[in-house]
Structure 1
């Protein structure tokens, strides 16, 4: 293993650990934001069940692209390639993954039966870095908003900022 690969792995691990949200693309559709935990050198996700996050198209044995954002600024830090593997319920790896995921799951409707529901209805997926960090794009990759019949209100009346922020009022000075 070369020094560059070790540095890339360290960068992938630290950035992914610190980011509570990653963007994952597994198929032809756009990347999807998902919450995760970092466990034993891989990002672990749970979803595709009732009350859980929808996962992107992740085929067992396939590849995925993971984009990590900055926790403080929210901008793209890096994008890395991952090998996808589905963790089978009841295995030792599944028990370890679910224990970590359960601790990070916010607002679970049934926290006492959460692991049983995940075993029955959800997928637990492991994204293991392949060591490939993709170069950052030259453009923003922003897309125009989807067409919608929604409209905005009329322009703000000119006097409103003065009323709200008191910009037009001056305090009377006491004579000295």
Structure 2
């Protein structure tokens, strides 16, 4: 006798596995463009920290308590969209048990924090911790849903952090010397 597994359970398993393995998720809130955010998978949800000094910006996305957001995870192998889903946003109140458990997971994954010893206190004072729980609207690769069937590629947001400057006048001569020597 063969057992059949409900498609919803397979989708939930795909979401969990993809989110656990990915370092970034793309989140589109009620406003603004989708943004790549680092996260952890904790107790059945994507958990984010941000909006404080030195942390990822969450402002401008419309990620308020009770709002809906679209979460997309890319494949680590191919880089394409692996799965997307609609999530309900919950802001965890600082200091509560759920907040402490989420922050403990986040702290273990936070790379290059300048204040690793006091990071959780700073998060409690200055940051927001959000929990994004899947609430339906799933899209697997190739599915045509509200997520669309396009690549969802977009132009990068304007930023003052640029690297394009005129090439130094001496650079072609310096590079030319290396070739002749070799």
Normalising TM by the smaller chain, what interval?
0.7 to 0.9
2:16 equivalent in structure 1: 13
Distance of 2:110 and 2:93 partners within structure 1: 19
1:34 equivalent in structure 2: 37
Provide TM-score, normalisation by structure 1. 0.80
**2:148 is the counterpart of 1:143:** no
2:131 equivalent in structure 1: 126
Provide TM-score, normalisation by structure 2. 0.77
Q: Which runs of 4+ in 1 moved over 4 A?
A: 144-148, 150-153
Alpha-carbon displacement from aligned partner over 1:41-95 (angstroms, at most 9, x marks no partner): 0000000000100113201011110000112322211111101000011100011
Greater Rg by CA: 1
2:99 equivalent in structure 1: 94
CA contact (8 A) 1:85 1:126 kept: yes
Distance of 1:140 and 1:152 partners within structure 2: 33
Gaps of 5+ in 2: 140-144
Gaps of 5+ in 1: 167-176
Cα 1:140–1:40 change in 2 (3 A) is same
Q: CA RMSD in A?
A: 2.8
Instruction: Give the strand-richer structure, 1 or 2.
Output: 1
